[in-house]
Structure 1
Amino acid sequence: MERCSYISFGVPGIVVALSLVFFGANYLPFLYQTLPMLVFAYLVLFLPQSVGAIRTSLLQVNPQLEESARSLGRNPWQALREVTLPLVRPGVISGAVLVFLTAIKELPATMLLAPIGFNTLATQIWQATENVDFADAAASSLAMLLVSMGSTLLVLSQENVKKEKVTPKAETQPKF
């Protein structure tokens, strides 16, 4: 299942968008230019990024930790909640932020599939430059830059959290 999610990684957004426009217009006209169709396009385009980040995080968890929790009386759900999820949390957050950073700048799928009047920062920048309103485009670009910087700092802070969990603090030993 995980490998199937990687199939769409190399497909450009315009190809996914045009495919969904054709499918929606011909077979599901009630979904054409609706938010569910746009969310599905984002899912197809960005799922591989989140799966990759979560997979990497899961591969770093030692299975013996979960087995230890089970041997100490935890059921599988408790072991997942108390051991695995806290260890995987930085990877999940990083994957979510990575998808957010990629989705915030997605233009072709948003322009072709979004409902009429639905604006994102990317479409707002596009419309402003199309109307030669560079002041408005600059303001929207600055907003996108600030949101992207904040998200990037969040990812970097998760990296520091992961390092703190992995690197034990040195205990002070009494000198004799």
Structure 2
Amino acid sequence: MIERGSYIGFGLPGGVVALSLVFFGANYTPWLYQTMPMLVFAYLVLFLPQSVGTLRSSLLQVSPSLEESARCLGRTPWQTLREITAPLIRPGFISGFVLIFLTAIKELPATMLLSPIGFRTLAVQIWVATNAAAFVDAAAAALALLMVCTGLTLVVLSQERA
């Protein structure tokens, strides 16, 4: 039920989640408004389903007979997790982490509405520079974003072979 509930946030636009949290923060928890915990919570609502999906599919691919065999050979549950299950799900875990990072680094509405004053991500920097008609600065930030995303996409693609 918790897993399925996490997918609700995936269908919501970042602006809707951000505006909801702005309303909640401004009216009920003003000490949390425009703080990193509020921004991290928005990112969790928006991006946790991506990680849950990749981790779930990795866990479903682990054969229970492997874990049962390890237990029959005298391994404790923690040893089985560490020596059998974790190495098998590592590619899915890494892919989920990178997928969340790639999506979060491009998120603009939630970051602009909920981040602390002065906190700028590459996406915010591109937006601010474009609004100021500083296209050279926007291009530099866009190139940096492109390079980070390309490198991390190659990491995800390398996990397919693992």
TM-score (normalised: structure 1): 0.91
Partner-residue secondary structure (3-state), 1:115? coil
State the AA in 2 paired with 1:99: I
How many percent identity over aligned positions? 75
Q: Aligned partners of 2:74 and 2:5: how far apart in 1?
A: 36
Correspondence for 2:34? 33
Query: Structure 2 stretches of 5 or more lacking a match?
Result: none
Per-residue Cα deviation, 1:22-62 (whole angstroms, up to 9, x for no partner): 00000000000000000000000000000000001111100
Bigger radius of gyration: 1
Q: Which residue of 1 aligns with 2:133?
A: 132
SS of residue matched to 2:161: helix
Residue 11 (structure 1) aligns with:
12
Aligned-pair CA distance for 1:140: 0.3
Matches within 5 A, 1:86-105: 86-105=87-106
Counterpart mapping for 1:60-139 below 5 A: 60-139=61-140
Equivalent residue for 2:157? 156
Runs of 4+ in 1 over 2 A off after TM superposition: none
For 1:58 and 1:17, the matched residues in 2 are separated by 32
- Post-superposition shift, 1:8? 1.0
- The CA deviation string for residues 127-171 of structure 1, in whole angstroms up to 9 with x for no partner, is 00000000000000000000000000000111111xxxxxxxxxx
Q: Which amino acid aligns with 2:59?
A: L
**Matched residue of 1:160: which SS?**
coil
The root-mean-square deviation of aligned C-alpha atoms, in Å, is 0.4
* Length-normalised TM-score, structure 2: 0.99
- Consecutive unaligned residues of structure 1, counting only runs of 5 or more, are 162-176
In 1, Cα distance between equivalents of 2:68 and 2:10: 34
Specify the code of the residue in structure 2 equivalent to 1:113. Answer: L
Counting matched residue pairs gives: 161
The one-letter code of the counterpart of 1:44 is V
